[in-house]
Amino acid sequence: MKPYDYLIVGSGLFGATFAHLAAKEGKRCLVIDKRPQLGGNIYCEEQHGINVHKYGAHIFHTSNKQVWDFVNALVPFNRYTNCPVAEYEGKRYNLPFNMNTFYQMWGVTTPAEAQAKIEEQKREVAEAMAAQGITEPRNLEEQALLLIGRDIYEKLIKSYTEKQWGRACTELPAFIIRRLPVRFVYDNNYFNDAYQGIPIGGYNKLTEALLEGIECRTEEDFFARREYWESQAEKIVFTGKIDEFYDYRYGQLEYRTVRFEEETIDTPNYQGCAVVNYTEKQVPYTRVIEHKHFEDFGEAIYAKPKTVISREYSTEWAPGSEPFYPVNDERNSALYAQYKALADKETNVIFGGRLAEYKYYDMAPVIEQVLKHFC
């Protein structure tokens, strides 16, 4: 008999949740992570009393009550509501696309006026597409134009998306933009979900609660001692890159990475909200995160004299950098399908999370996925 039931490779949300639920069932679990700390990309580092999201901003949102109750039983969540702002050529626009945005863009004040404006813009696009025999949007550009029209596409979507993905909007899949709501009410809440928030005290509290009582070893690279690790457990839960698991035998999947330029500023409130997206081409970064706004509200903002911001620069992934976003274009989707076919044949390996499933996952669906293994 091997010493563990499960070796969990990677202590991010998938791995930590899996370990938590398996341990609850009495399974012997060992979690390994190559980083010096646990939590994967939800890890935060405290600076000046502020939890800095070291691997990119994470905002938990879901409509799944089971998932919401599950995380809140581990650590209560605060009332943070994501209301990002877009900046284009010095002007600010509310996101997601709603009556505030339409007012800022065109001066329209009623839903009927805004709808008429968008319909007029959409009609132009739909007619041009129909003339070419296109019935379904074939890429992100066509999808965005059909969803919201040319003005918003050109000012708030095109360059932001091209900076983020490093590819033309005509080469990106339509589904990426379907994440963004369009609404005819004055409502700047970015998500349509019933629940959202940040763990009180930061995401490390969630990681700690998930992994409480579970054997974890940091700075342990699965691939450095693969045979040894495989000999340790009956089953492996793998949350790393699926192409690496198979030694890149069909080729490398592509990812986008983000470089974070952090700065501490001697002011309590730098930009007035957590997220400002820079949607023009000339600004090299995609967005600026001001971390304290995730957890400090009202007077509490001014109780801390400094603030920490991160400018995000999106670049192509190369070995040595962090693979953050899978690039679900045609080439990569086809390549992933080949690896997935191998994974489906495995009886002792479970693949999960953004990297192992090569999927643009949010946090709540990751937990949903893990819960399915245990029901």
Residue 100 makes contact with ligand UDP by CB under 6 A: no
Alpha helices in 135-255 (DSSP H): 140-148, 150-152, 158-165, 175-178, 203-211, 226-232, 242-245
Phi/psi of residue 309, each to 5°?
A: -120, 160
Residue 225 makes contact with ligand UDP by CB under 6 A: no
Residue 274 makes contact with ligand UDP by CB under 6 A: no
Task: Please identify which of the residues 103, 154, 183, 234 carries the catalytic annotation.
Answer: 183
Q: CB under 6 A: which stretch of 1-9, 17-25, 115-123, 153-161 binds ligand UDP? A: 153-161
**Spatial separation of the C-alpha atoms in residues 264 and 273, rounded to whole Å:** 16
Residue 91 makes contact with ligand UDP by CB under 6 A: no
Instruction: Respond yes or no: is residue 46 known to be catalytic.
Output: no
Residue 178 makes contact with ligand UDP by CB under 6 A: no
Instruction: Respond yes or no: is residue 322 known to be catalytic.
Output: no
Instruction: Respond yes or no: is residue 256 known to be catalytic.
Output: yes
Q: CB under 6 A: which stretch of 172-180, 249-257, 262-270, 330-338 binds ligand UDP? A: 172-180
Of positions 67, 145, 157, 364, contacts ligand UDP by CB under 6 A: 157
Going 183 to 186 to 187 to 188, the CA torsion angle's sign is positive
Of positions 176, 211, 288, 343, contacts ligand UDP by CB under 6 A: 176
User: Which residues in the chain belong to E strands, given as ranges?
Assistant: 4-9, 29-32, 44-47, 50-53, 60-62, 85-88, 91-94, 195-197, 215-217, 233-238, 255-265, 275-278, 287-290, 307-316, 325-326, 349-351
Residue 301 makes contact with ligand UDP by CB under 6 A: no
CB 138, min distance to ligand UDP, A: 16
Residue 180 makes contact with ligand UDP by CB under 6 A: yes
**Spatial separation of the C-alpha atoms in residues 349 and 10, rounded to whole Å:** 13
Active site residues: 179, 183, 256, 287, 312, 360, 362
